[in-house]
Chain A
Amino acid sequence: MVRASLETDFAEVWLEGEISNLRAPGSGHLYCTLKDQTSQIRAVIFRSAAVRLRFGLEEGLQVVAKGRLSVYEPRGEYQVILDHLEPKGRGALQLAFEQLKRRLEAEGLFDVEGKQSLPAFPRTVGIVTSPTGAAVRDLITVLHRRCPILSIIIAPVPVQGAGSAEQIAAAIQALNRLGVVDVIIVGRGGGSSEDLWSFNEETVVRAIAASRVPIVSAVGHETDVTLADFAADVRAATPSAAAELVAPVLTEIVERLGMLTARCQQAMTSQCLEQHQRLDLLLAHMGNIRFRILKEAQRVDGAVAGMREAVRAHLKQAMVNAQTWTHALRSKSPVLHVRQDLLIVPQLRSRVIAAMNHSLKRKTQHTHAYLGRLKGLSPLAILDRGYGILETMPGGQIIRDAGQVSVGEEILARLARGQIRCTVEEVRLDPSV
């Protein structure tokens, strides 16, 4: 009866207070106490209402709540059954945004270390956005204006309404799986914060953070900030801005390539020139060295000539000396003496001969004298005087004794002139004549 009365009389009450003693058992219902500085009341939020909450209830959170009074009969306590809560002073979405941001931040999904840098020269750009909005037109236009050769793959998705978050996340994953996409732009044109809400959904934020392909977020206008922006590698203020960030200007690349090529050639040419000059310098230097060597050679030649001259002079002197000595020696040579002495030999010889002749002559004269005298003594001279000499025949022995001969023997009688052969007739041994 109390309950019926309360529920009819206080079918709709508005309360303002701070949440405390928050409990969330497995049933899905939420229990808490709403209090202000002077009073408090027990409150319950049934599961059906709890799932509709855009934000999470927290201890100490100031809320404005709508509900109806009732009685919890087992304890006989009265309580308020809340069906709608709003954070006080700000929107529910704002609070939900902050709560999710805090949670994902704590998980490290927004860490700067996890950010990838955009490729400088993407060939293929993936776009996750609505195929019907102005955003996709702007993106294609700007991308191709800057870089006409870009390949673009559009992954069309609804960007608001139920299920859009899941589709956006799936599209990001699908573009990753293609394997040809160098960078992805995820975004949409401007709208209310409700319209942009899909880009605050956890599933989208996680898909962006997990993408291996770098992602540029471009949601709404400059002032709109979504959790997708925090998770993306780069945040662009608008889709057009995203296209400018992603697409290099082709003419600039071509120009840069041309410049690099020219610098390459220039540097090579100048190095070649430099080396050439160095070579020239070296050659000139070598020329100098050659000149110096020639000069030195000349000096050496001079020195050699001088030395030769000196040696020659020396030699000459030595020769002269030698000649002098030779001369001196020669003049003292025994040969000379011998020769000189030899000159005396013929003189001596002639003197000897002369002396000999003289001697001979004298001897001859002597001999003649002796011969003369001898002649007187000679038997022949005796013979001249009429004597004869008897000689045996043969034998020629002078017969001095008659006994030397026998009768009948022939003997020879030499006379002064001629000889006579005689035959012995008689031998008388009587010495008297």
Chain B
Amino acid sequence: MAGVKFEQAMARLEAIVGELENGDLPLDESLKIFEEGIRLSRNCLKVLEDAERKVEVLVQDTNGKKQLRAFTSDDIDVQGSAEDS
């Protein structure tokens, strides 16, 4: 659910930009939310940079428990085509 936080951060950043561009806030408050905006921006960028691309498969092991394991190209190719396209 990390995506939710990122979304909130972006939404907050957008709101901050809106408020700053409105220019209705007193300078000290502007500075406060400006700092918050820059912090959010850095955090968002960090999230994007740190995110790793991965593909996993949710499989059922012998106990009937669901487990995640890395997805390989074998997963597509080995089993025959049960489905057309």
Contact = CB atoms under 8 A, between A and B. Distances in A.
Interface stretch (A184-192, A317-325, A353-361, A371-379): A184-192
Given A132-B79, A261-B38, A154 B71 contact: yes
Contacts, number: 159
B61 interface: no
A268 B75 contact: no
B40 to A, nearest CB: 9
B21 A267 contact: yes
Nearest to A181: B1
Given A189-B85, A261-B38, A268-B34, A120 B10 contact: yes
Given A121-B3, A159-B83, A254 B55 contact: no
Nearest to A143: B55
Interface string B1-33: 111101100100110110011010001001100
A175 B13 CA distance: 30
A149 B38 contact: no
Interface residues of B, number: 45
Contacts of B38: 261, 264-265
B34 A152 contact: no
A369 interface: no
Contact of B27 (A131, A188, A272): A272
Q: Which residue of B3, B31, B52, B81 has the most chain A CB atoms within 10 A of its CB atom?
A: B3
A149 B52 contact: yes
Contacts of A119: 3-4, 7
Contacts of B68: 153, 178
A127 B58 CA distance: 10
Contacts of A148: 53
Contacts of A271: 20, 23, 27, 30
B71 A152 contact: yes
A253 B37 CA distance: 16
Given A261-B41, A271-B27, A149 B53 contact: yes
A70 to B, nearest CB: 43
A134 interface: yes
Given A148-B53, A151-B54, A267 B45 contact: no
A151 B56 contact: yes
A177 B38 CA distance: 35
A134 B59 contact: no
B76 A264 contact: no
Interface residues of A, number: 60
Interface string A133-146: 11111001000100
B53 A133 contact: no
A274 interface: yes
Nearest to B56: A153
Given A191-B84, A253-B48, A156 B21 contact: no
Contacts of A275: 27
Contact of B48 (A124, A153, A257): A257
Contact of B83 (A121, A188, A264): A188
Interface in A270-303: 270-272, 274-275
Given A150-B53, A151-B54, A267 B20 contact: yes
A191 B81 CA distance: 13
Nearest to A160: B83
A228 B40 CA distance: 38
A41 interface: no
Given A154-B55, A156-B57, A123 B83 contact: no
A180 B56 CA distance: 12
A171 interface: yes
A275 B31 CA distance: 12
**Ranked 9 nearest A-B pairs via Cβ:** A267-B20, A189-B85, A149-B51, A134-B85, A182-B3, A123-B3, A133-B83, A261-B41, A123-B2
19 contacts: A131-B57, A131-B76, A132-B79, A135-B83, A149-B48, A149-B52, A153-B68, A154-B57, A175-B58, A178-B68, A191-B84, A257-B13, A260-B13, A261-B13, A263-B17, A264-B20, A264-B34, A264-B37, A271-B20
Interface of A: 119-124, 126, 130-137, 140, 144, 148-156, 158-161, 171, 174-175, 177-180, 182, 188-191, 195, 250, 253-254, 256-257, 260-261, 263-265, 267-268, 270-272, 274-275
Interface of B: 1-4, 6-7, 10, 13-14, 16-17, 20-21, 23, 27, 30-31, 34, 37-38, 41, 44-45, 48, 51-59, 66, 68, 71, 75-76, 79-85
